[in-house]
Structure 1
Amino acid sequence: MTADQLAGEVQEFLRFKRAMGIPYRRAEFVLDAFMRFVGQLAGDHGEVRLDHAIRRWCARVADRKAVTVANEFGVLRQLCLYRRRRDPSGYVPEHALAPVKVSVFLPYIFNHDEVRRILAAASSHEGRFIWAPMLRALILVLYCTGLRLGEAVRLRTSDVDLERGALTIQHSKGRSRIVAIRPDLVAELRGYAAERQRLVRRRRRSDPEVFFVRRDASPLTVASASDAIRRLLRELGIKPARGRTGARPYEFRHAFAVHRLTAWASDGVDIHAKLPLLSAYLGHQSLIGTEVYLKATPQLLELASSRFEQHLRAARPSK
């Protein structure tokens, strides 16, 4: 098999996945990178030994996170399984080549005092492109709803229903969902919406129809929102002054989930029964993505352990 032939099979595989309604965008990125790697090994017309290429691909960079290697390997294994439908003798790598399936990464969880400090800093922010009312409203949406940063930034004015108290998340991770919001967040967003309308009029430009806009009334981008929040976290000492370590904008989503679970546990609610509701609210594709929050903080673990002990005591027969 040549690299050209393999490239054709990759395109067939992507069409097959998308015919089933799977966007497969990240997987396409992995496959494109793999095909460039194959081209470097064999040239476009040279013979390709798929088993050799996949092993070299998985080991191409030293000290990569095992979960990253496993995720990329999973895409290639799916391609091999697809090829085997046509060729029963086709190579399919064993899982042992990249066995890690679950990330051991634990997110940074903002405590309530940190959230208050972040909001205070956002409320007084003065930037060239990022203005305080917008930054405060964005952070409130992230923390109070657990939306992904991209989901929040892409909200259109028509997606924000302040009469019903609901946000419509359009086509995120292959699906759409409606997220209910609390009355206090509705009040905050009403205030921002009024400020936003005044800004658009003052700038004398047509309404961009996105909910979050920059100081010049142009649409906010994920990159500029992420940069502004990271700078805020560094200024407050929550994130180191340099490097990629420490808290990230995505941490507001983690904080929302953990604080919600902790509040349920403190109220004596069966948090495992609530997990499906939280999973649907967050837009997770399965409960696996939500269950990781159960081990995110010592406080939540302690509460869960205490509730389980009380359950065992209640279940024991009296003597």
Structure 2
Amino acid sequence: MRPDKIIFTSYLGELLDGYVKEQRSVGYKYVKGASLLKMLDGHLEKNPLTEKRLPKESVLSWTAKKPKETDSTRNGRISAVRGFARYMIRLGYEAYIYPPSAVKISRYSYAPYIFTGEEIRNIFVSIDNYPVCDVSRHRHLVLKLIMRMLYGCGLRISEALNLRRADVDLEKGILFIRDAKFGKERLVPMTETLTERCRQYSREVHTSDKVNDYFFPSPHGGRYKEATIYKLFRDLLWKAGISHSGKGPRLHDLRHAYAVHRLKNWVLKGKDLAQLLPYLSTYLGHVDLRGTQRYLRLTADLYPAITAAVEKHFSSLIPEVESYETD
């Protein structure tokens, strides 16, 4: 049976079908999840109830660890039934939610560092006061703009350093990102303020009409190395009074901060994240919504004041397992 043609036949079949359709409507392919829920559907058929509810006994029996089963495989079932249970509760049905504290989740060793608004301001103050370097007379200008581009557009550092002059439309304020992660290309609109900064920067730095030159040229005219910018970034953090633990913050955390701050702003303004997440996903260059939705979980975890709103209105958009880009 094709994964998109799964038919649910248990007493909760209609709700299971509705949940799968909801997941796909917000951008998930939801193939594996649907297959797991079909297994749950079969399990429920063995012990049918007369009312539409998902009892604790059914959840625990279906998620019980099987002989020689890995934690990862079991977590897949737990994640699927947790999402479905939250969906049922949102619709007013009784459902048992498997406690997240009991799930063994494999995470990356590095947790994203999300800069506060004050820290971002302090970083930019440090950048704007960065001294002119005799050896690299444009370094301070490169830093001023590239850091604002990383945070203001959510770019990866490699994407910013790969930009050629022809990739930056100074008239329309659009960046053309080529050969990004996963081989994707995309257009990234900038704010008018950032676009004007790009124009001013170009007038000061670009002295020729060679459109294939790097937009952020190194002192020798080639491409800056990520390690060089990272070293300068660590110096900026120190001047901004932000501690570096040896593992972070990293340049990539400016991208994380952009995504989380954007989501926080949307939630506070009452925006419909189900409609906006696909746009943010495209803007960030994600393959699908999963990478973007993990930022929603991080947003809810970091800002308790908006957690209730996120859980109430967008719980179906929050993934169970949290993992974040490392490059």
Give TM-score scaled by structure 1 length.
0.59
| 8 A contact 2:163–2:177 mirrored in 1 | yes
CA spacing shift, 1:114–1:96, aligned 2, 3 Å? same
Please tell me the residue identity of whatever aligns with 1:151: E
The CA deviation string for residues 102-158 of structure 1, in whole angstroms up to 9 with x for no partner, is 547531111111111111211222344462111010001000000000000110000
- Comparing 157-166 with 216-225, greater Cα deviation is found at 216-225
Q: What is the aligned partner in structure 2 of residue 279 from structure 1?
A: 281
1:158 equivalent to 2:166? Answer yes
1:170 equivalent to 2:174? Answer no
Quote the offset at 1:300 in angstroms.
4.1
- Percent identity, aligned pairs only, is 32
Structure 1 CA distance for aligned equivalents of residues 313 and 291 of structure 2: 27
| 8 A contact 2:267–2:309 mirrored in 1 | no
Please, which of 119, 124, 140 is the counterpart of residue 124 of structure 2?
A: 119
Structure 2 CA distance for aligned equivalents of residues 279 and 217 of structure 1: 33
1:289 equivalent to 2:291? Answer yes
1:135 equivalent to 2:143? Answer yes
Structure 1 CA distance for aligned equivalents of residues 277 and 304 of structure 2: 15
Structure 2 CA distance for aligned equivalents of residues 135 and 238 of structure 1: 17
CA spacing shift, 1:253–1:97, aligned 2, 3 Å? same
1:213 equivalent to 2:187? Answer no
SS at match of 1:171: coil
Quote the offset at 1:248 in angstroms.
0.7
Quote the offset at 1:307 in angstroms.
5.7
Quote the offset at 1:287 in angstroms.
1.2
| 8 A contact 1:169–1:179 mirrored in 2 | yes
The CA deviation string for residues 4-48 of structure 1, in whole angstroms up to 9 with x for no partner, is xxxxxxxxxxxxxxxxxxxxxxxxxxxxxxxxxxxxxxxxxxxxx
1:192 equivalent to 2:192? Answer no
Uncovered stretches (5+) of structure 1, i.e. residues with no partner: 1-93, 312-319
Please tell me the residue identity of whatever aligns with 1:153: L
| 8 A contact 2:115–2:254 mirrored in 1 | yes
The CA deviation string for residues 215-240 of structure 1, in whole angstroms up to 9 with x for no partner, is 45443222211221122113333133
The CA deviation string for residues 35-90 of structure 1, in whole angstroms up to 9 with x for no partner, is xxxxxxxxxxxxxxxxxxxxxxxxxxxxxxxxxxxxxxxxxxxxxxxxxxxxxxxx
Quote the offset at 1:256 in angstroms.
0.5
1:303 equivalent to 2:322? Answer no
SS at match of 2:179: strand
CA spacing shift, 1:293–1:105, aligned 2, 3 Å? farther
CA spacing shift, 1:146–1:235, aligned 2, 3 Å? same
Give 1:35-54 correspondences, 5 Å limit.
Answer: none
Uncovered stretches (5+) of structure 2, i.e. residues with no partner: 1-67, 74-104, 315-327
Structure 2 CA distance for aligned equivalents of residues 307 and 101 of structure 1: 24
1:96 equivalent to 2:98? Answer no
Which has the bigger relative contact order, CA under 8 A and spacing at least 6?
2
SS at match of 2:309: helix
Please, which of 228, 232, 236 is the counterpart of residue 228 of structure 1?
A: 232
Quote the offset at 1:96 in angstroms.
2.7
Structure 2 CA distance for aligned equivalents of residues 296 and 97 of structure 1: 23
Q: What is the aligned partner in structure 1 of residue 258 from structure 2?
A: 256
Q: What is the aligned partner in structure 1 of residue 12 from structure 2?
A: none
Please tell me the residue identity of whatever aligns with 2:259: A
CA spacing shift, 1:209–1:218, aligned 2, 3 Å? same
Please tell me the residue identity of whatever aligns with 1:247: P
Equivalent residue pairs, number: 212
SS at match of 1:280: helix
Please tell me the residue identity of whatever aligns with 2:193: D
Quote the offset at 1:279 in angstroms.
0.8
Quote the offset at 1:270 in angstroms.
1.8
Please, which of 247, 260, 269 is the counterpart of residue 271 of structure 2?
A: 269
| 8 A contact 2:165–2:212 mirrored in 1 | no
Please tell me the residue identity of whatever aligns with 2:308: S
| 8 A contact 2:110–2:247 mirrored in 1 | no
CA RMSD of aligned residues (A): 2.9
CA spacing shift, 1:304–1:123, aligned 2, 3 Å? same
| 8 A contact 2:126–2:239 mirrored in 1 | no
Structure 1 CA distance for aligned equivalents of residues 71 and 296 of structure 2: 29
Please tell me the residue identity of whatever aligns with 1:189: C
CA spacing shift, 1:216–1:105, aligned 2, 3 Å? closer
Give TM-score scaled by structure 2 length.
0.58
